[in-house]
Amino acid sequence: MKKGVRIIIKGMVQGVGFRYYVHHSARRHYLKGWVKNLPDGRVETVAEGDEEELREFVKEVKKGSRFSHVDEAQVEWLSYTNEFHNFQITD
């Protein structure tokens, strides 16, 4: 089943390659959407795809890369919209 997810990540997640980590994870799980830095130091991502792949993606985002430290990840499950063509890093 296709679903969507929005995650707001708080911690040491800017300036450490975290968006590239999220991008790589999303591509590995065949997800579409985006990831971006927020002005307050958090990172936001929206992804769509197969529900099982999304669940694995959420686990990886919560864990973070070896260079980052995730303190908190707010996860909001969304309906599938099919609005994305790929997964990209945005400003």
Task: Give 62-78 pLDDT, tens digit per residue.
Answer: 999 999 999 999 999 99
Indicate the CATH number for domain 2-81: 3.30.70.100
Residue of 6, 19, 42, 86 marked catalytic: 19
Q: pTM for the complete prediction?
A: 0.96
Residue 1, pLDDT score: 95
Identify whether 6 is a catalytic site residue. no
CA of residue 58 relative to chain centroid, distance: 7
With cut-offs at 50, 70 and 90, classify the pLDDT of residue 91: confident
* HEC secondary structure over the chain: CEEEEEEEEEEECCCCCHHHHHHHHHHHCCCEEEEEECCCCCEEEEEEEEHHHHHHHHHHHHHCCCCCEEEEEEEEEECCCCCCCCEEECC
Residue of 6, 27, 28, 37 marked catalytic: 37
Domain residue limits, the chain: 2-81
Task: Give 2-57 pLDDT, tens digit per residue.
Answer: 999 999 999 999 999 999 999 999 999 999 999 999 999 999 999 999 999 999 99
Place of tokens 């929005």: 6
Identify whether 82 is a catalytic site residue. no
